[in-house]
Amino acid sequence: MTNQKQRTAVVGASGYTGADLIRLALRHPNIDIRALTANSHAGKPIAQVFPHLANHNLPTLIKNEEVDWDNIDVAFCGLPHATSQQVIRDLPDHIRVIDISADFRLRDPELYEQTYGSAHAAPQLQQQAVYGLTEHYRAEIESTRLVACPGCYPTAALTLLLPVVKQGLIDATDLIIDAKSGLTGAGRALKQNTLFAEAGEGMCSYAVGTHRHAPEIEQELSLAADQPLVVNFTPHLIPMSRGELVTCYARLAEGVSVSDCKDTLQKFYLNEPFVNLSPDGVTPHTQHVRGSNQVSLNVFEDRIPGRVILIAALDNLVKGSSGQAVQNFNVMFGLPETTGLEQLALFP
């Protein structure tokens, strides 16, 4: 099994997520890239869109509808939301799908519609999709046909918070999640606020109270806490390309200490290859995970008694997107989970 190559399509290959997926896939012994799609670039070699991917014998970009699905086993989808669900809905049944878009992350059709502004085009699939936070849904991912990979912010926030919320160590009704992301998180689309001259040497918060990753975080934390939750989620745009930092502020449950939180995280992730607690007192730094599938966590005393600070750092394009997609691929196909994801962080 582990020697077999899966014939793979990357649907929506012209964004940063697509590029990073191809980067990882090319070094993965069980992925054989058979099709690359990008409707607006159909007919071009990938090297015209991503010069660093030249010289790898990759297939020419085609339109989504041009893929020969009979000869494909698995599809990674990096399409914009709304488009993704339509394309995936129409795929033949034998195709296993790893969706990197936002389309199948929310389980509740109403919440989806409210968050994304239109009804879901594939509500049945939506019910079947498994939320691809690997460390927390491994068993379900193994056997599913459709994985919905979490957003970058939810991956960081949930990896950090789920274990302590499940154990009831913190008051989940009063969670503050201050998040900071580099510019690749905003994608490759042309927007004024992502120009170098606008984003460089400056920072600001954005989508305060309204970011679409908030309902996703709330959905999973609510499940963990077994009660409907609303959380503060405040993202910031930081002048760097890759990297995401989440600083969470929480009230400890009665009788719980900061060490209890730390111990719980330590235990929960003890055998996980991609999640690590930083040494005591060391704050997670995005440079130390850049380009890798690692998440760094740590927990700190607050000055306010009874409060705790939890911090996570990851690379938004790897563990926050394409790396976790590959990790889910490994789980789905019974491979060692680190296959193709062994590269270390690129520091500095």
Please give the residues from 39 up to 58 whose contact with its own copies meets the rule CB under 8 A.
47, 50-56
Per the DSSP assignment, residues forming a β-bridge with 306 are none
Taking the C-alpha atoms of residue 179 and residue 244, their distance in angstroms, rounded to an integer, is 7
346 binds its own copies (CB under 8 A): yes
* Smallest distance, its own copies to C-beta of residue 91, A: 28
| Total chain residues near its own copies (CB under 8 A) | 88
Is-catalytic flag, 152? yes
Interactions with its own copies, residue window 204-233 (CB under 8 A): 204-206, 208-209, 214, 230-233
Taking the C-alpha atoms of residue 112 and residue 130, their distance in angstroms, rounded to an integer, is 15
Q: Is 171 exposed, middle or buried (0-12, 13-18, 19+ CB in 10 A)?
A: middle
Nearer to its own copies, 187 or 334 (CB): 187
Q: Which residues does 146 contact at the CB level (< 8 Å), separation at least 6?
A: 88, 96, 97, 99, 104, 125, 128, 129, 130
255 binds its own copies (CB under 8 A): no
Contact pick of 239, 257, 259, 338 for its own copies (by CB under 8 A): 239
Interactions with its own copies, residue window 149-208 (CB under 8 A): 173-174, 176, 178, 180, 182-184, 186, 188, 190-192, 194-206, 208
* Smallest distance, its own copies to C-beta of residue 311, A: 6
Contact pick of 247, 293, 328, 339 for its own copies (by CB under 8 A): 247
Taking the C-alpha atoms of residue 247 and residue 37, their distance in angstroms, rounded to an integer, is 37
Of residues 77, 149, 152, 261, which has the active-site annotation?
152
* Smallest distance, its own copies to C-beta of residue 35, A: 19
* Smallest distance, its own copies to C-beta of residue 173, A: 8
Taking the C-alpha atoms of residue 188 and residue 15, their distance in angstroms, rounded to an integer, is 6
Q: Which residues does 303 contact at the CB level (< 8 Å), separation at least 6?
A: none
Q: Which amino acid belongs to residue 235?
A: P
Nearest to 160 by CA among 61, 76, 65, 277: 277
Interactions with its own copies, residue window 258-277 (CB under 8 A): 276
Binding mask 110-129 for its own copies (x = CB under 8 A): --------------------
Q: Which amino acid belongs to residue 222?
A: S
Which residues belong to the active site?
152
